[in-house]
Structure 1
Amino acid sequence: MAKVQPELPLDAVQLSETAIPIESTSLSPPKSPRQLPKHLADFKHYVDSKCCYHSVALDSAELADVQPKAAYRCQMKTLMESRDLDWTKKAASWQHETVLFSETLGRAFEDTKRPGRPVGDIWDDYTFDLPSSDSKSTDERPLPECSYLTRCSDCRGKGLVQCQNYECKGSGKITCTRCYGEGKVRTIDYIEYCNCSSGKINCPDCKGGGKIHCSNCKGYGGFRHSVTLRVKWHTCITTLYYQNSFLPEKRMEKAQRVLYWANTQLPWSQNSSIDNFLLSLREDEAHENINLKANLTKQYREKHMKPTSRGSERMRRLICTIERLDFEEVHYTLDEKYVNKRDSTLGQLFMYFHSPCSFLFSSRSSSSSMKNCNIKYGQLRLSEIELYECTANDLIDRGIIGKGSYGVAHKMEQEKSGTMMARVYSNQSVEATEILNELNMFMTENNCLHLIQFYGGLLQEGYCDVFMQLMDTSLDHFYKCVYHKLNQFIPENSVAYVAFTILQALDYLKSRWVISLRSVTPWSVLLSRTTIKLIGFDYKLSTGYFSFSKSGNDIELAVEICQGPSLELTIARLSHHCKEFVNTCLNKDENQRPAYEQLFENPFVQQANEVSQAQHFVAYCSNMIDLVDKTTDTFDQYGFRP
């Protein structure tokens, strides 16, 4: 049985010394966590998002300094061209001619060479169409007028030489192998006369003639020397980074950049002035220690100009693109138990890089969630004199006007000016940077009436938003409504006018910016009641139907397109000139397809090069758009699918 301990009385004085007052207990509410500055709070949120990082040290961090910085990604492309002559030598007939007379020898003789036209300067006397892409490419041009003839030195142009048989030696006879030159064949019983001629027979090599075909010229007597001028192109691409901080190049490459400046000059040569090329480049006033012009000049001379000093290559085109990244250099301090291990002299001072606006729209699905709209350095360029600062309050979404595999189009209104425009959100992230680079060229110079007018563009999270001129509809929607809803045909003269205007736009792109479009479809052509804009002329416009069969899967369709025969337009209601023009454009052999200059000379296109044709098209297009508006609602007009 357990022993019971006696109770001990407790003195009240001792109780007051040992007891803890209720007020001193931890019943009071806990202290709220320390509020960090925004830069450190964002940094802490980033660290917490990583599985193996810890942000405890940032709880006691103090913000020391925030410095705005800038970095530039400068890419320079030079199209390099090399040329050389490829001579080939083939046997050719030689016709004897007495062309020279020698008083010393007292006889006439012929020249052993009959020259053609001189080749001339292979760089200045011959022109080639430059490739539009950066990939390696080649071209060649035979020069038949520069070929020449030479006489064979072995047979002296006769095509025959003395027989080389050791017995014949040009006589045409060799010793008979039956009688061994005796003329008789002796046997045991009798002597038989041989059928040879005095112990000789015809040489089997020259057949008794004493001459054989010259092995050098194959019996032709001479040689034709033909020349082909071969051209090779390759693009020298250099990418350098200039900044006023220490941001790693790998980070700059992955970050979201905006187009700062771009320029293309064609033609370009070693004698062209790089200073004039960079004349429109404005220096960065906020970051004066980044001298872009000096750095680009050095980059051009060392990486592009120097390799051409040996003279075997020449420059043909220069493209320079500059993308800018704005970021902040954030300095902060930690308590004494943390030391900067990379640079011990800094003590408790640390640094990180922060991009405050990695993308310009917080949400791509709703225009009401726009934070800002920094288009073309924060401005919307509506005309040469109209420049507007753009914010979320300045843009009003008027609804969706089109959807497709390329993206979604919204109708937007710029509140300050009242300008209606189209905003196209592209989901083609791979091509977003390329789109903005080309967009900058369209905005700086566009003298073609049939190119759509662009107001600006922006890159966000690898995707692209483009603001452009608002039109009434696309050619794809228009022809589908005409053919399938109204059961009508587009007049042939209107089709000719569409072809003419699109050819003008394509020719302008090729001649001005060396741009060859990879895809030209009715989706790329926009219509209004008064004009038509780039881009596209397609087989479907004349027929109203898809050009290839819709049966089978995508692989079968790809095989039909790539390996099948060229498409052919055979509709009876169309004229001969119309079918000839379309079928010529559909030829899969690129060597058989005509160039833009040849297409302009086609009778089908020439009929549209008149003021009356433009007036007829405007009247027809305006009437048909009004008719479509009356018979369909907005969604049907823009989103109809047959």
Structure 2
Amino acid sequence: MMPGQSTPGPKKRPNFSLRDINQSNPFNSFSKVVDLSGKLNFEGKAVLHSEGVDFGAGRKYNIKMEDFSTRCEIGRGQFGVVSKVYHNPTKVTMALKEIRLQLDELQLNQILMELNVLHEARSPYIVDFYGAFFIESCVYYCMEYMECGSLDSMFSFGCPEPVLARIAHAMVSGLKFLKDQFGVIHRDVKPTNVLVNSQGEVKLCDFGVSGKLNASLAKTRVGCENYMAPERIKSGASDQGYTVQSDIWSLGISLVEAATGKYPYPLNGRPTTSVFLIMQDIISGPAPSVDPARYSELCRDFITVCLHKDPSERPSYAQLLEHPFITKSQAADVDMAGWAQAALTHRASAA
């Protein structure tokens, strides 16, 4: 929108440049966040600029676009793209996530949440963070490059039970870390938000819709509906609140998908993509499971306890980590690197 033009209607959310700030509504509501010097300022919690990000606690990450070379796109989402880049000063290959800023307060909150989680979380089960910066209307996150991509890209190669158990362990450990250390619930647990590298390490990513737990409850209805727990879908759930047990449901659905190679809804093989029918199945239908001919009773029990319709019957993260399905795999020699490398080779040959 140029100066002097009327405010766009509610269905339009155009991209904007810095000179649009401080003009008529809705732009003036963002003047406290984006200033004309080219900085994105989150009320002292974090300041993004063209040469990095400064967090309120004093930690700084100096990184800028000019540091990168050999950029190629590896993924695309609703708000932007993810590219594979080479960081020349450190000689490290990174994933560069570009978010095109919209005039949307929810998106700004998501950016701040993801920045906070990424820079504070130091865990082998959370993707590493290298820095962030802001140029005109785009925010860039610099993260660990996970060369195998997201878990959903590994389905065609198959996911044997020992590997599935290690994936479950990594996901539960990452979610438990977020809850115990920061009081955060992920709220968007699904295979596309689980990354794998060539060493077979499994890490969580995408924390934009994560939320702080207030007395162990969260209320906002955000995240992918296909992986939402029944209690989050039911009418009035946003008023009643929900706990991390809702992420445990999403974990169970993700494991079924990893084991079977496909999303388990709608039930009974009905050929439909209707979100309404899928939501009905999640609320009223039986919980999905895996083939008993391929997966052990321990594996099936682990998935079953994750997918109890009543969230109070689902175990805690600590209890899941003590489940024999997990402890048995931790004691076994599982070649995660071999599985990851074989999946990469299979994907390359199928391309």
After TM superposition, the score normalised by the length of structure 1 is 0.38
Gaps of 5+ in 1: 1-44, 52-249, 258-324, 327-354, 361-371, 379-383, 483-488, 637-642
CA contact 1:256–1:358 (8 Å) conserved in 2? no
- 2:53 maps to 376
Q: Given the superposition, is the C-alpha separation of residues 566 and 253 from structure 1 closer, same or farther in structure 2, using an over 3 Å criterion?
A: same
Structure 1 distance, partners of 2:136, 2:282, is: 35
* Structure-2 separation of matches of 1:518 and 1:498: 18
- One-letter code aligned to 1:618: A
Q: Which has the higher helix share?
A: 2
Partner residue of 1:579?
300
Q: Corresponding residue for 1:267? A: none
Aligned: 1:603 with 2:324: yes
CA contact (8 A) 2:149 2:196 kept: yes
2:260 counterpart residue number? 543
The number of aligned residues is: 272
Cα distance change of structure 1 residues 594 and 573 upon mapping to structure 2, 3 Å threshold? same
When the two chains are superposed, the root-mean-square deviation of aligned CA atoms in Å is 3.6
Relative distance call for 1:596 and 1:387 in structure 2 (3 A) is: closer
Which of structures 1 and 2 has the bigger CA Rg?
1
CA contact (8 A) 2:125 2:204 kept: yes
Is 1:396 aligned to 2:69, yes or no? yes
| 1:534 maps to 2:251 | no
Return the letter of the residue paired with 1:373.
S
Question: CA 1:428 to 1:605, structure 2 compared with 1: closer, same or farther past 3 Å?
Answer: farther
Cα deviations across residues 358-388 of structure 1 (Å, max 9, x unaligned)?
779xxxxxxxxxxx8333149xxxxx9x954
8 Å contact kept, 1:455–1:468: yes
The one-letter amino acid of 1:569's match is: V
Distance apart, 1:566 and its partner CA: 2.8
How many angstroms does 1:467 deviate by? 1.9
1:591 partner SS: helix
8 Å Cα contact 1:256/1:461 also seen in 2: no
Equivalent positions of 1:415-434 (< 5 A) are: 415-426=88-99, 429=102, 430=104, 431-434=106-109
CA distance in 2, matches of 1:415, 1:496: 37
1:239-290 Cα deviation digits (max 9, x unpaired): xxxxxxxxxxx98742262xxxxxxxxxxxxxxxxxxxxxxxxxxxxxxxxx
Q: 1:594 to 1:477 in 2, by over 3 A?
A: closer
Counterpart position of 1:523: 192
Tell me whether 1:445 sits opposite 2:120 in the alignment: yes
Letter in 2 for 1:542: A
Q: 2:311 aligns with which of 566, 581, 590?
A: 590
Shift of the 428–447 alpha-carbon distance from structure 1 to 2, 3 Å rule, reads same
Q: Secondary structure at the match of 1:376?
A: strand
For the residue of structure 2 that corresponds to 1:402, the secondary structure is: strand
Please list the CA deviations of residues 214-250 of structure 1 after superposition, one character each: whole Å capped at 9, or x if unmatched.
xxxxxxxxxxxxxxxxxxxxxxxxxxxxxxxxxxxx9
What is the distance in 1 between the residues matched to 2:108 and 2:166?
33
Answer 1 or 2: which has greater strand percent. 1
Equivalent of residue 409 in structure 1, options 74, 82, 86:
82
Query: Could you say which residue in structure 2 is the equivalent of 1:510?
Result: 179
Task: Quote the Cα distance in structure 1 between the aligned partners of 2:327 and 2:277.
Answer: 38
Shift of 1:623: 3.2
Closer, same or farther in 2 for the Cα pair 1:559/1:575, shift >3 Å?
same
Q: CA deviation at 1:450?
A: 1.2
* Structure 1 contact 584–594 (Cα < 8 Å) conserved: yes
- Aligned residues of 1:474 and 1:522 also touching (Cα < 8 A): no
CA offset digits 1:387-430 (Å, max 9, x no partner) = 5452x432235211122446421112223333221122346955
Q: What's the offset of the Cα at 1:624?
A: 2.9
| Alignment deviations for residues 36-68 of structure 1 (CA, whole Å, 9 cap, x no partner) | xxxxxxxxx965x347xxxxxxxxxxxxxxxxx
Residues 583 and 414 from structure 1, CA distance in 2 versus in 1: closer, same or farther, beyond 3 angstroms? same
Q: What is aligned with 1:457? A: 132
Q: For residue 357 of structure 1, what is the aligned residue in structure 2?
A: 38
- Pick from 30, 39, 45 the counterpart of residue 254 of structure 1: 30
Counterpart position of 1:202:
none
Q: CA separation of 1:406/1:520 partners in 2, compared to 1, >3 Å: closer, same or farther?
A: farther
Give the Cα separation in 1 of the matches to 2:149 and 2:279.
Answer: 26
SS at the partner of 2:185? coil
Identity level (%): 20
Paired residue for 2:347? 628
* Deviation for aligned residue 1:556: 2.3
Residue from 336, 340, 349 that aligns with 1:617? 336
| Cα pair distance change 1:393/1:465, threshold 3 Å | closer
Whole-Å separation in 1 of the counterparts to 2:133 and 2:109: 12
Q: In the superposition, relative to structure 1, how do residues 481 and 408 fare at CA in structure 2: closer, same or farther (>3 Å)?
A: farther
Q: Which amino acid aligns with 1:520?
A: V
Which structure's relative contact order is higher, taking Cα pairs within 8 Å and 6+ residues apart?
A: 2
